[in-house]
C-alpha cells in the first residue's frame, strides 16, 4: 500500500487524531490559539442535530418497539455486551464488530463509536474532579508509578472546563471530591430526598450528593446550546445541545475560528518520526473509503483517539529509534490498562410515597462519594482505594404487571397508574494499574485496511474482587438502614469484565521517569516532545470517578504548553 | 395456491390495510369484533386464539383495549422478527396444547371458539389462589426437555398463555394510542418538578 502514498504539501501547525471528548477540546484550544489545525477522525461525518436520527422517536416509533433486530445482534455482538448501546435508539453510534474486529485472550468489552464526535455523543456525562488523594494514591501504596502532577496542577483547568461545558451539581466540601464550578443541581425527587435524609441521620461517614453531570441548568449562555429539556434521551444526541459533546460545543467553537480543517474517514495508523530532529513530522492516514494513503505534516501532534486506539497507533509507529513503538523506551506502552468495575449494587422499594410523582425526566440522580480509605479512620482491611455509587429513584411502569396472572378491566386500569417507587444504586470501583494488563497487536489478523488488530489480555484482580464485595454489602446496608423494602443486592458477574465501564485508561501513562512511563507531566512523549497524548491513554491511575472531565482538563492544559513551545520555536521538525 | 398463501400474499402486498369485509369473506371464522390482520407466524386458528385472549386480558371499556391497538398483529410481528428460535418453538407447541385442550373441553375447534369459551379456559388457568400461583411460576421455570405427558402439556399451556399475556401488556402499553392519549405524554417536558401530587399528573408517564 505504500506505493500510493501521497505527501501533502501543506504543513499544519497541529494535527489532532480523533474528534471525541479529548480531540474536541484539543482542537478548540489549538484553533483558538491561532493554530491551523487538522482534525483526523477515522469514522464518518456526523453533524450536530442533522445526524441524530432517533432524537425525537417515541417507543412506538421504533420498529418492534425498539427491540434489537437480529441483524444488529449479529453485527454488533461485542457492542451488545453493555446491553444498552445496541438499542435502536443509539446503535448507529457504536461500531460494527465484524468490520472492526479485535481479539481477546481474556474477555475485554471494547465499546467504540467511529464517527465525528466519537463517544462524546453517547458518554455518561458524569463529571467528578479527581482529588489530591487520587493523584497521590500510587505513590502512597506503591501500585503503578507516581503521577507527575498533583491536584493543584490541574485544578485551574478543571475550573476552565467546567465553566465552559456547563455542569450541574453542588459543592459538598469533601476532600475526596473537590468543589467545582457548578450550576443549580437537578432536584432530588421525594424518595431520593428521603434517602439523603436517612443516610445523613444514620451514617456519619458518607453522604448522598447530587450527581454532577454536563447538562446546562441556570442562565449562563453557552453558545449554540440551550438548557436541558428533561427528555433523558441524551445518548441519541440532543437537538437542544442540553448536554456537552464535541458536536454541540468544542468543534463548532473551533470551526468558528476558521483554523480548523476536519477530515472524517481518515484512519491514522502511524506517527512519522524523524530521528534527525527527534520529533514527529506528521501522520500517515488511510482513507477509510478509498483506502488511499496520505501523509499529513504538522509541527505538533495531539493523540486523542482513545486509550486503546492511541496506543495502537503508537505501537504501529515503528522506526529504527523506536522498534517497539513510538515513545516506548519504557516498555510500558499498551500496558497498565484500567477501567472501572461496575454492575454491582443494590435496589429496593420505597413505601409511603404513592401520592407523590414528578414531572420531567432528569438525566441524573444521586451520587455517593467514596467513603473507603479516605483516611486512617476509613481504612478497609481487605482492599485499597475506593468506589462511589450512582443511582436514583423512580416509579415502576406497566411492566410490573408482567409476572402476574391477572387479566381484565381492573388490570388494565391499575397498570395505567404509576407503580411502586423503587430506588437503586450501582458502584463504580477503582481498578489498580497492573503492568501485565496489556494489549498487543496481531499482525496475522489484519482488518479491512490491512492494519493489525488489537489483542486484549486484561483482567480485574483480587483488590477489585474484594472491593466489589464491600460495594454490594454497603449498598444493601444503606438501603436497609433507610428503611426500604425488598432490598436486594446484585453483583452481575457478566459485568465484571474490563471495558464495560467504557473508561479505558493507562496504555501510555504519564510519569516522572522515562524508564517507567511514556508521557511526562505535560502529556508529551518523553522522547518525542511534539507528540502529546491527552486521552485515557495518559492516565497513571484510574481513581473511581468518571474520567472524561480529567481528560478534558489535561488536554486543555497540554495545549497551553504546546502553544507556548511553538511560540518559542521549540519544535523545529521541518 | 391454498387459502393461507393467498392471505399471506395479500398481507405482503397490502400490509394490514386489507379491509374488514374482504377479510371476513375469506376468514369466515372471524367474529366481527376482530381487527383486520393476517397472521404470518401464527396460523389462522392461533391468530383467532391470541385475538380472543388479548381481548380478554386487556378488554375494551370506556378506555381502548388490546384490539384497538392491534396487539395480535404486534405479537405476530414480534414472534416473526424478534423471538428466539426456542421461544418460537415453545409458543407454537403451547398454542397446539392449548388448542387441543380447547377441543377436548368444548368439542369443537378453537378457531370456532367464542369469547365466552376462551374466558372459561383462561379463568381455569389464571384464576388461581396466590399460593398456587407461586407453584405455577416455579413449574414454568423448569427445563422443558425434562417434562413429559400431562406435566409437559400444562407447562406448554401456561407458557402460551403467559407469553400471550406478556405481549398483550407490552403491545398495549407501548402503543402510540395508549402512550399519547391515555398515559401521560410529555415528549419535551422543558422543566423538572421533583415532588408533586400524583393527582396533578393522573395516569403514569408513558415513558
C-beta separation of A425 from A345 below 8 A: yes
Per the structure, the complete domain to which residue A194 belongs is given by 174-211+341-429+461-496
Which residue, among B65, B87, B169, B206, would best test binding to A if mutated, counting the most A CBs under 10 Å from its CB? B169
Q: Is residue A58 part of a domain?
A: no
Query: A408 touching B, CB under 8 A?
Result: yes
For residue A429, give the nearest of A364, A550, A342 by alpha carbon: A342
d(CA A518, CA A539): 10
Q: Nearest chain A Cα to B181, which residue?
A: A416
Distances (CA, A) of A226 to A221, A249, A365: 8, 11, 21
C-beta separation of A555 from A30 below 8 A: no
SS3 of residue A493 by DSSP = helix
Q: What is the mean pLDDT of residues A2-19?
A: 80
d(CA B69, CA B166): 15
Query: A375 touching B, CB under 8 A?
Result: no
- Please answer yes or no on whether A67 and B165 come within 8 Å at the CB atom: no
Using a CB-CB distance cutoff of 8 angstroms, which residues of chain B are in contact with residue A359? 186, 189, 191-193, 196, 200-201
- Please answer yes or no on whether B192 and A193 come within 8 Å at the CB atom: no
Which residue, among A73, A359, A421, would best test binding to B if mutated, counting the most B CBs under 10 Å from its CB? A359
C-beta separation of A358 from B184 below 8 A: no
**Phi and psi at residue A504, to the nearest 5°:** -65, 135
Q: Nearest chain B Cα to A217, which residue?
A: B191
Residues 324-363 of A with CB under 8 A from B: 354-362
Q: What is the mean pLDDT of residues A20-43?
A: 98
Q: Which of A64, A359, A411 sits opposite B192 (nearest CB)?
A: A359
Q: Nearest chain A Cα to B77, which residue?
A: A64
- Please answer yes or no on whether A412 and B63 come within 8 Å at the CB atom: yes
Last residue of a domain, which of A475, A496, A517? A496
Q: Is residue A68 part of a domain?
A: no
SS3 of residue A489 by DSSP = strand
Q: Is residue A63 part of a domain?
A: no
Q: Is residue A57 part of a domain?
A: no
Are A186 and A277 found together in one domain?
no
Are A287 and A241 found together in one domain?
yes
Q: Which of B59, B189, B191 sits opposite A408 (nearest CB)?
A: B59
pLDDT at residue A5 in the model: 63
Are A8 and A130 found together in one domain?
yes
C-beta separation of A113 from A121 below 8 A: yes
C-beta separation of A59 from B207 below 8 A: yes
Are A290 and A380 found together in one domain?
no
- A38, β-bridge pairs: A15, A261
d(CA A514, CA B44): 74
Using a CB-CB distance cutoff of 8 angstroms, which residues of chain A are in contact with residue B81? 64, 67, 69-70
Least confident residue range of A118-127, A305-314, A383-392, B4-13: B4-13
Q: Is residue A399 part of a domain?
A: yes
Number of domains in chain A: 2
Last residue of a domain, which of A473, A496, A519? A496
C-beta separation of B113 from B101 below 8 A: no
Distances (CA, A) of A263 to A32, A100, A135, A287: 19, 20, 36, 10
Q: Is residue A67 part of a domain?
A: no
pLDDT at residue A304 in the model: 98
pLDDT at A2 > cutoff 70: no
User: Could you report the per-residue pLDDT of A434-453, keeping only the tens digit for each?
Assistant: 999 999 999 999 999 999 99
pLDDT at A388 > cutoff 50: yes
Q: Which residue has the cell 436520527?
A: A53
Are A353 and A400 found together in one domain?
yes
Residues 428-487 of A with CB under 8 A from B: none
Are A358 and A255 found together in one domain?
no
Q: Which of A59, A69, A358 sits opposite B207 (nearest CB)?
A: A59
Are A531 and A555 found together in one domain?
yes
DSSP letter assigned to residue A249: I
Are A311 and A277 found together in one domain?
yes
Beta carbons within 10 angstroms of residue A204's beta carbon: 9
- Please answer yes or no on whether A405 and B133 come within 8 Å at the CB atom: yes
Q: Which residue has the cell 511526562?
A: A520
Q: Is residue A76 part of a domain?
A: no
Q: Is residue A190 part of a domain?
A: yes
Distances (CA, A) of A571 to A22, A28, B77, B109, B146: 22, 21, 63, 87, 73
d(CA A269, CA A290): 15
Grid coordinates representing A561?
A: 504548553
Q: Which long-range contacts (CB under 8 A, 24 or more apart) does A155-163 make?
A: A155/A129, A157/A553, A157/A554, A157/A556, A157/A557, A158/A129, A158/A549, A158/A553, A160/A553, A160/A556, A161/A25, A161/A549, A161/A552, A161/A553, A161/A556, A162/A127, A162/A549
Grid coordinates representing B175?
A: 402503543
- Please answer yes or no on whether A357 and B175 come within 8 Å at the CB atom: no
Grid coordinates representing A425?
A: 444504586
- Please answer yes or no on whether B197 and A56 come within 8 Å at the CB atom: no
Using a CB-CB distance cutoff of 8 angstroms, which residues of chain B are in contact with residue A355? 197-198
Are A330 and A397 found together in one domain?
no
pLDDT at residue B37 in the model: 82
d(CA A133, CA A145): 14
pLDDT at residue B29 in the model: 38
- Please list, residue by residue across B76-94, b when 16 or more beta carbons sit within 10 angstroms of its beta carbon and e when fewer do: bbbbeebbeeeeeebbbbb
DSSP letter assigned to residue A213: B
A101 CA: distance to closest CA in chain B (Å): 25
Q: CA angle A306-A311-A312, nearest 5°?
A: 100
Are A446 and A510 found together in one domain?
yes
pLDDT at A36 > cutoff 90: yes
Q: What is the share, in percent, of chain A residues with pLDDT greater than 90?
A: 97
- Please answer yes or no on whether B63 and A408 come within 8 Å at the CB atom: no
pLDDT at residue A10 in the model: 84
Q: What ipTM goes with this model?
A: 0.93
In this prediction, residue A4 has a pLDDT band, given cuts at 50, 70 and 90, of low
Q: What is the share, in percent, of chain A residues with pLDDT greater than 70?
A: 99
Per-residue pLDDT of chain B (207 residues; tens, 9 = 90+): 343 443 343 333 333 333 333 333 334 333 434 557 889 999 999 999 999 999 999 999 999 999 999 999 999 999 999 999 999 999 999 999 999 999 999 999 999 999 999 999 999 999 999 889 889 999 999 999 999 999 999 999 999 999 999 999 999 999 999 999 999 999 999 999 999 999 999 999 999
DSSP letter assigned to residue A61: G
Strands in A209-210's sheet, in edge-to-edge order, are A209-210, A366-368, A387-395, A421-429, A344-350, A485-491
Query: A406 touching B, CB under 8 A?
Result: yes
- Please answer yes or no on whether B191 and A230 come within 8 Å at the CB atom: yes
Q: Nearest chain A Cα to B85, which residue?
A: A70
Are A375 and A483 found together in one domain?
yes
- Please answer yes or no on whether A356 and B179 come within 8 Å at the CB atom: no
Are A560 and A424 found together in one domain?
no
User: Could you report the per-residue pLDDT of A311-335, keeping only the tens digit for each?
Assistant: 999 999 999 999 999 999 999 999 9
Amino acid at each position: 500500500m505504500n506505493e500510493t502514498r501521497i505527501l501533502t504539501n501543506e504543513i499544519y501547525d497541529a494535527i489532532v487524531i480523533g474528534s471525541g471528548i479529548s480531540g474536541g477540546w484539543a482542537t478548540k484550544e489549538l484553533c483558538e490559539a491561532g493554530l491551523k489545525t487538522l482534525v483526523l477522525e477515522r469514522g464518518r461525518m456526523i453533524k450536530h442535530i442533522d445526524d441524530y436520527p432517533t432524537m425525537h422517536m417515541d417507543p412506538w416509533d421504533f420498529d418492534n418497539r425498539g427491540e434489537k433486530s437480529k441483524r444488529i445482534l449479529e453485527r454488533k455482538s461485542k457492542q451488545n455486551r453493555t446491553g444498552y448501546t445496541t438499542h435502536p435508539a443509539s446503535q448507529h453510534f457504536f461500531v460494527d464488530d465484524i468490520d472492526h474486529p479485535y481479539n481477546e485472550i481474556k474477555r475485554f468489552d471494547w465499546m467504540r463509536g467511529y464517527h465525528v464526535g466519537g463517544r462524546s455523543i453517547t458518554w455518561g456525562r458524569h463529571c467528578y474532579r479527581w482529588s489530591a488523594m487520587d493523584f497521590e494514591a500510587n505513590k502512597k501504596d506503591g501500585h503503578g508509578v507516581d503521577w507527575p502532577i498533583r491536584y493543584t496542577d490541574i485544578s485551574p483547568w478543571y475550573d476552565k472546563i467546567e465553566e465552559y461545558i456547563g455542569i450541574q451539581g453542588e459543592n459538598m466540601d469533601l476532600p475526596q471530591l473537590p468543589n467545582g464550578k457548578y450550576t443549580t443541581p437537578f432536584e432530588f425527587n421525594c424518595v431520593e430526598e428521603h434517602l439523603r435524609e436517612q443516610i445523613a441521620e444514620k451514617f456519619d461517614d458518607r453522604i448522598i450528593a447530587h450527581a454532577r453531570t454536563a447538562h446546562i441548568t441556570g442562565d449562563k449562555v453557552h453558545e449554540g446550546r440551550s438548557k436541558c429539556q428533561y427528555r433523558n434521551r441524551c445518548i441519541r444526541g440532543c437537538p437542544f445541545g442540553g448536554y456537552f459533546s464535541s458536536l454541540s460545543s468544542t468543534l463548532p467553537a473551533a470551526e468558528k475560528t476558521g483554523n480548523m480543517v476536519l477530515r472524517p474517514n481518515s484512519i491514522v495508523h502511524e506517527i512519522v518520526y524523524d530521528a534527525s530532529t527527534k520529533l514527529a513530522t506528521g501522520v500517515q492516514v488511510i482513507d477509510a473509503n478509498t483506502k488511499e494513503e496520505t501523509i499529513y505534516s504538522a509541527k505538533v501532534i495531539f493523540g486523542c483517539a482513545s486509550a486503546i486506539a492511541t496506543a495502537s497507533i503508537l505501537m504501529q509507529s515503528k522506526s529504527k529509534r523506536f522498534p517497539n513503538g513510538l515513545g516506548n523506551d519504557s516498555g510500558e506502552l499498551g500496558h497498565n490498562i484500567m477501567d472501572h468495575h461496575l454492575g454491582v449494587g443494590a435496589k429496593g422499594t420505597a413505601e409511603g410515597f404513592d401520592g407523590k410523582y414528578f414531572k420531567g425526566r432528569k438525566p441524573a440522580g444521586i451520587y455517593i462519594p467514596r467513603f473507603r480509605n479516605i483516611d486512617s479512620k476509613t481504612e478497609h482491611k481487605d482492599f485499597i482505594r475506593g468506589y462511589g455509587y450512582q443511582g436514583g429513584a423512580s416509579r415502576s411502569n406497566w411492566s410490573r404487571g408482567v409476572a402476574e396472572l391477572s387479566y381484565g378491566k381492573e388490570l388494565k386500569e391499575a397498570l395505567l397508574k404509576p407503580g411502586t417507587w423503587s430506588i437503586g444504586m450501582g458502584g463504580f470501583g477503582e481498578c489498580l494499574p497492573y503492568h501485565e494488563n496489556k494489549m498487543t497487536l496481531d499482525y496475522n489478523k489484519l482488518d479491512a485496511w490491512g492494519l493489525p488488530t488489537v489483542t486484549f489480555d486484561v483482567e480485574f484482580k483480587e483488590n477489585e474482587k474484594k472491593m466489589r464485595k464491600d460495594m454490594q454489602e454497603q449498598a444493601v446496608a444503606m438501603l436497609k438502614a433507610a428503611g426500604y423494602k425488598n432490598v436486594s443486592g446484585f453483583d452481575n458477574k457478566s459485568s465484571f469484565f474490563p471495558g464495560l465501564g467504557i473508561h479505558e485508561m493507562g496504555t501510555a501513562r504519564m510519569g516522572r521517569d522515562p524508564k517507567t512511563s511514556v508521557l511526562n507531566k505535560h502529556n508529551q512523549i518523553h522522547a518525542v516532545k511534539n507528540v502529546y497524548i491527552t486521552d485515557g491513554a495518559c492516565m497513571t491511575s484510574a481513581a473511581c470517578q468518571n474520567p472524561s472531565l480529567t481528560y478534558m482538563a489535561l488536554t486543555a492544559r497540554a495545549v497551553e504548553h504546546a502553544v507556548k513551545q511553538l511560540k518559542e520555536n521549540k519544535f523545529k521538525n521541518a | 395456491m391454498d387459502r393461507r398463501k393467498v392471505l399471506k400474499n395479500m398481507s405482503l402486498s397490502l400490509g394490514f390495510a386489507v379491509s374488514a369485509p374482504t377479510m371476513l369473506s375469506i376468514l369466515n371464522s372471524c367474529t366481527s369484533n376482530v381487527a383486520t390482520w393476517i397472521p404470518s407466524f401464527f396460523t389462522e386458528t392461533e391468530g383467532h386464539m391470541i385475538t380472543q385472549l388479548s381481548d380478554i386480558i386487556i378488554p375494551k371499556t370506556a378506555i381502548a383495549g388490546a384490539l384497538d391497538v392491534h396487539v395480535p398483529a404486534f405479537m405476530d410481528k414480534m414472534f416473526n422478527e424478534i423471538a428466539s428460535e426456542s421461544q418460537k418453538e415453545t409458543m407454537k407447541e403451547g398454542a397446539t396444547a392449548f388448542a387441543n385442550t380447547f377441543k377436548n373441553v368444548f368439542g369443537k375447534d378453537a378457531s370456532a371458539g367464542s369469547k365466552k369459551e376462551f374466558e372459561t379456559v383462561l379463568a381455569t388457568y389464571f384464576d388461581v389462589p396466590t399460593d398456587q400461583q407461586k407453584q405455577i411460576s416455579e413449574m414454568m421455570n423448569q427445563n422443558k426437555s425434562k417434562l413429559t405427558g400431562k406435566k409437559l402439556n400444562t407447562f406448554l399451556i401456561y407458557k402460551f398463555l403467559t407469553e400471550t399475556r406478556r405481549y398483550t401488556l407490552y403491545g398495549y402499553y407501548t402503543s402510540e394510542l395508549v402512550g399519547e392519549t391515555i398515559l401521560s405524554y410529555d415528549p419535551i417536558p422543558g422543566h423538572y418538578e421533583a415532588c408533586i401530587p400524583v393527582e396533578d399528573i393522573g395516569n403514569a408517564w408513558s415513558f
